[in-house]
Structure 1
Amino acid sequence: MAYRINYLYQNQPKTIGFANDKHHSVYDAIALAEGLDLSDFHRMENQLANVSRNDRKILKDFREEYFAKLGFSQIDIAREE
């Protein structure tokens, strides 16, 4: 099943396609579409995952804050019909 990701990047509305078999996460897909290197992000995400194994909220908050600093907002996933 195909999905669409709608988001704002630096106050510009954008839409891209998303498939679970091509991208690790929604955040990876939008970073790839914008040509951003996420090596530092993945390193920190792995460290947080190792420290907070039972708390997914910490990881979710980290992702949202990191991408907000990069200029992303209003990230929304919609199913294509």
Structure 2
Amino acid sequence: MAYRINYLYRNLQKEIGYANDKHNSVYDAIALAEGVDLTDFHRMENQVANVSRNDRKTMKDFREEYFAKLGFSQVVIAREE
């Protein structure tokens, strides 16, 4: 099933297509669409995962804060009908 991701990037509303088989996560998809390098993010994400023992809330908070610093906000996933 196909999805759409709606988000704000530097105060501009954007929308892209998303498929689970093409991207590791929603955040990877929007970063790819905007040409953002996530090398540092993935390194830090692995460190947070090791320290937090994969606590979902900690991981979610880390992702949202990191992407907010990059200029992303209001990330919403919607099914295509």
The normalised TM-score by structure 1 is 0.97
In structure 2, the residue matched to 1:70 is 70
Alignment-mate amino acid for residue 48 of structure 2: L
What is the deviation of 1:60?
Answer: 0.3
Displacement, 1:54? Answer: 4.4
Long gaps (5+) in structure 1: none
Secondary structure at 2:16's aligned position in 1?
Answer: strand
Match of 2:8 in 1: 8
How well do the aligned residues superpose, as a CA RMSD in angstroms? 0.7
Q: Name the residue aligned to 1:52.
A: 52
Q: Which moved more, 1:48-57 or 1:12-21?
A: 48-57
Structure 2 counterpart SS, 1:15: strand
Over 4 Å off, 4+ runs: none
Q: Residue in 2 aligned with 1:79?
A: 79
2:26 maps to 26
Identical-residue share of aligned pairs (%) = 84
- The separation in 1 between residues aligned to 2:54 and 2:70, in whole angstroms, is 27
Deviations 1:18-70 (A, max 9, x none): 00000000000000000000000000000111111141111100000000000
Looking at structure 1, the residues matched to 76 and 10 of structure 2 have their Cα atoms a distance apart, in angstroms, of 16
Distance across 1 between alignment mates of 2:9 and 2:39: 19
CA distance in structure 2 between the aligned counterparts of 1:65 and 1:54, rounded to whole angstroms = 17
1:56 partner letter: R
The verdict on how the C-alpha distance between 1:11 and 1:47 changes in structure 2, with shifts beyond 3 A counting, is same
